[in-house]
Structure 1
Amino acid sequence: MIIENFFLTKLTYDLNLIFVSASNLTNSERTITDNQLNFEDFQLSWDDLGNRIRLKFTVSNFTSGNVWAGVAFSKDREMGDDDAIICKAFNGGYKIERAFVAEKNRPGLLNESKPRLGLSNMNISLKNGVLTCNITRIKASRNKKVLNARNRFYILVAKGRTDLNGNVFYHGSNRYASKLNFLLCIPGNTWNVGYTLCILHCSLRFQSEQSLLVTCSIRSNQSN
Structure 2
Amino acid sequence: MTEHELGELLAGHPVLYHMAEAGSWPSIRARGLLSTSALLDLYGVEGAAREAVEAQRRAASVVLEAPGLGRAVIRDNRPLNEARLARALPEDLPVAEWLRLLNGRVFFWLTRERLGRLLGARLYRDASHDVLEVEAASLVAAHRDRIELSPINSGVTDPFAAPRGRETFRPIADYPYADWRRARGRRGEAVVELAVQGGVPDIVRHVRRVVRMRGEVEEGVVWARVAPDVLEG
Task: Kindly indicate which of the two structures has a greater share of residues assigned to helix.
Answer: 2
Task: Kindly indicate which of the two structures has a greater share of residues assigned to strand.
Answer: 1
- The normalised TM-score by structure 2 is 0.28
- The normalised TM-score by structure 1 is 0.29
